[in-house]
Amino acid sequence: MIAKIQELLAEVEQLQAANAEEVEALRIKYLSKKGAINDLMADFRNVPAEMKKEVGMKLNELKTKAQEKIAALKEMVDTQEGGNDDLDLTRTAYPISLGTRHPLTIVKNEIVDIFSRLGFTLAEGPEIEDDWHVYSSMNFADDHPARDMQDTFFVEARPDIVLRSHTSSVQARVMEKQQPPIRVICPGRVYRNEAISASAHCFFHQVEGLYIDKNVSFTDLKQVLLLFAQEMFGKDTQIRLRPSYFPFTEPSAEMDISCNICGGKGCSFCKHTGWVEILGCGMVDPAVLEANGIDSTIYTGYAFGMGVERITNLKYQVKDLRMFSENDTRFLDEFTAAN
């Protein structure tokens, strides 16, 4: 086989072409699936084991030389024939269709815009984070289940480095660098070690909000969330708050909105309750304030967080989370008018 490779290598070095058709014929002869080099590749399985390394190197050398030679011939022929001189570079790109914003981007931008009009500023942080900003600064106990490998992606080389599981880490970075008043909105992608299905994914997107100042109350939180819900889902939208638990807020609540599909009358989407959960919220735990260098005897605050996919599902009735990451243009084209 080595002799055959050397023979073909000599042929390749002497290749000549006068026009584009001859270049294409050479490409087919040597580099196509039925070409001479591919035939040698197919015979490689019959080479004795002790010779595979040497023969493999020579085969790779032959293929590289053939590709370079044919590319050089094509460039030479294009130059001689005038190349692309007849191409009008000033011609408009249309009718090539333009891309559109992703539905998650559309909804995220709408959420950020609503809170921006309520006085919140944008804050962002790294997706690869340390344990302190993701968990410890947010009052997670050392034995909290979220710290387990079953829930969090850890960076193998550094057991204290993780892919953030929520954007609360951005809140921690803001608090440690800035004294109140603080009013920020924190959008971003987060990661959790979950099986991928129609209702769950190993990565998704969140938007969290944080407001810290003197005399901030739960009433302030409720009013801001009511305004958000009515801006996002319509002025007739109602909300309700149910007691819940989060390590970083106390008291904590889950917020539901009246189902925007049936108007609160009850349907299969809201499981005939008339209500759909959209976010978690609560007053910032004093322990979180102190851990991040803010005096809890002077300042209070509230925080909230929502999944962008959840809001998008409600707004556009997308029932399968996997659709957001599969890049199916038929699905994405449905959101052209929403841009």
Distance CA 158, CA 270 (A): 43
Distance, CA of 228 to CA of 185 (rounded, Å): 13
pLDDT score of 251 = 95
Q: What is the DSSP string of 254-280?
A: EEEEE-TTTTTS--TTTTTSSEEEEEE
- Is residue 248 within 8 Å of residue 168, measured between CB atoms? yes
HEC sequence for 93-160: CCCCCCCCCCHHHHHHHHHHHHHHHCCCEECCCCCEEEHHHHCHHHCCCCCCHHHCCCCCCEECCEEE
Q: What is the pLDDT of residue 152?
A: 80
N- to C-terminal Cα distance for the chain? 60
pLDDT in tens, the chain (339 residues): 788 888 888 888 888 888 888 888 888 888 888 888 888 888 877 888 788 788 888 888 888 888 898 888 888 887 776 655 566 677 766 666 667 788 999 999 999 999 999 999 999 999 999 988 988 899 887 766 665 655 788 887 677 888 998 999 999 999 999 999 999 999 999 998 888 887 788 889 999 999 999 999 999 999 999 999 999 999 999 999 999 999 999 999 999 999 877 877 888 778 888 898 999 999 999 999 999 999 999 999 999 999 999 899 888 888 788 888 888 888 888 887 665
Instruction: Give the pLDDT confidence score for residue 188 in this predicted structure.
Output: 94
Tokens of 152: 């969090």
What is the pTM assigned to this prediction?
0.67
